[in-house]
């Protein structure tokens, strides 16, 4: 089977400082892969390299397409979606309106047809609302579609960010610390959503510090230390890797 995502000797250098060095791993279709490591290990830099936000060496493939060296918008066009720690939601819009913002990016509604409410624009608008409701239903939050984002919890906002990222069809969803600030119940909900997306065939790559979530949801874990790949394996394998325990946590038990 062709990997959904393949990294081969990816490296990033800033002003002589090697932030990421020769990192290689693969993610299969529908697989959830977590990237973990201490602060400064190179996790976010690696994410930025995959998404085209920083220049890198080595090679990145999505299915059979090489992403290396391509601009951000071209990488997104291949089906790479990403959320950030600050998701940029519109607090004074409703949940469904925020998701529809992402959907409008994939609808070719001209300014003229929108201004005069031509039938084509009305049909596309109705289609956007329908797809937004389908995404909210997939995320298990359809019941709050008319609630203003400013009135939601951090966990609910994080789920909306994911829904909006998926408004345009995705092959790879990249999540940067999605569990930050979430309650235990919200993390459990996030866990269920990520597994549901994987069952839909979407590959998920996440940087995360909440190790309970990592060990529960991941099929594969990549451990970085000082910009280098220290280990890769299943959660059980990584949990028992002595080098990981010593370099990443400094003691003899992971979770």
Specify whether 10 is located in the same domain as 71. yes
Specify whether 177 is located in the same domain as 228. yes
pLDDT tens by residue, 165-179: 888 889 999 999 999
Specify if 24 maps to a domain: yes
Q: Following CA atoms 214, 218, 220, 222 in sequence, which dihedral angle do they give, to the nearest 10 degrees?
A: -20
Specify if 84 maps to a domain: no
Specify whether 219 is located in the same domain as 100. no
Specify whether 178 is located in the same domain as 64. yes
Specify if 197 maps to a domain: yes
For the domain that residue 19 is a member of, what is the CATH number? 3.40.50.300
Please tell me which residue, 85 or 203, carries the higher pLDDT value.
203
What span, in angstroms and rounded, lies between the C-alpha atoms of 41 and 229?
9
> What pLDDT was estimated at residue 199?
95
Specify whether 36 is located in the same domain as 153. no
Count of structural domains, the chain: 2
- The answer, yes or no, to whether residue 198 has pLDDT greater than 50, is yes
Neighbours of 80 (CB within 10 A): 23
- The answer, yes or no, to whether residue 7 has pLDDT greater than 80, is yes
Please tell me which residue, 244 or 5, carries the higher pLDDT value.
5
- The answer, yes or no, to whether residue 110 has pLDDT greater than 60, is no
- The answer, yes or no, to whether residue 255 has pLDDT greater than 60, is no
What is the pLDDT of the chain when averaged over all its residues?
87
Region 228-242: mean pLDDT is 93
Domain that includes residue 120, residue range: 90-164
Specify if 37 maps to a domain: yes
State the pLDDT confidence band at 84, using cuts at 50, 70 and 90: confident
Tell me 247's DSSP state: I
Specify whether 176 is located in the same domain as 160. no
DSSP secondary structure letters along 72-93 = HHHHHHTTEEEE-SS----TTS
Region 107-123: mean pLDDT is 54
Specify if 182 maps to a domain: yes
Which one of 164, 187, 203 terminates a domain?
Answer: 164
Specify if 214 maps to a domain: yes
Neighbours of 245 (CB within 10 A): 16
> What pLDDT was estimated at residue 129?
84
- The answer, yes or no, to whether residue 109 has pLDDT greater than 50, is no
* pTM score: 0.87
Which one of 145, 164, 183 terminates a domain?
Answer: 164
pLDDT tens by residue, 23-65: 999 999 999 999 999 888 999 999 999 999 999 999 999 999 9
Specify if 44 maps to a domain: yes
Which one of 107, 134, 164 terminates a domain?
Answer: 164
Specify if 227 maps to a domain: yes
> What pLDDT was estimated at residue 87?
66
């Amino acid at each position: 089977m062709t990997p959904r995502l393949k990294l081969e000797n990816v490296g990033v250098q800033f002003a002589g400082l090697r932030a990421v060095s020769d990192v290689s791993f693969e993610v299969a279709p529908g697989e959830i892969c977590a990237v973990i490591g201490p602060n400064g290990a190179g996790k976010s830099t690696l994410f930025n390299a995959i998404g085209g936000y920083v220049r890198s060496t080595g090679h990145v493939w999505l299915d059979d397409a090489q992403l290396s060296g391509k601009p951000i918008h071209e990488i997104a066009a291949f089906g790479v979606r990403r959320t950030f720690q600050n998701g940029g939601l519109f607090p004074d819009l409703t949940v469904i309106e925020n998701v529809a913002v992402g959907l409008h990016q994939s609808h070719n509604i001209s300014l003229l047809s929108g201004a005069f409410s031509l039938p084509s624009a009305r049909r596309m608008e109705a289609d956007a609302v329908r797809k937004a409701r389908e995404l909210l239903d997939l995320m298990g939050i359809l019941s709050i579609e008319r609630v203003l984002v400013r009135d939601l919890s951090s966990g609910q906002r994080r789920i909306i960010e994911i829904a909006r990222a998926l408004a345009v069809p995705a092959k790879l969803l990249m999540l940067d610390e999605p569990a930050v600030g979430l309650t235990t119940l919200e993390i459990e909900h996030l866990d269920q959503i990520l597994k549901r997306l994987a069952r839909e065939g979407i590959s998920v790559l996440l940087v995360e510090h909440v190790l309970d979530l990592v060990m529960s949801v991941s099929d594969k874990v990549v451990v970085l230390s000082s910009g280098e790949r220290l280990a890769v394996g299943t959660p059980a394998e990584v949990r028992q890797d002595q080098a990981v325990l010593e370099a990443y946590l400094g003691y003899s038990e992971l979770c």
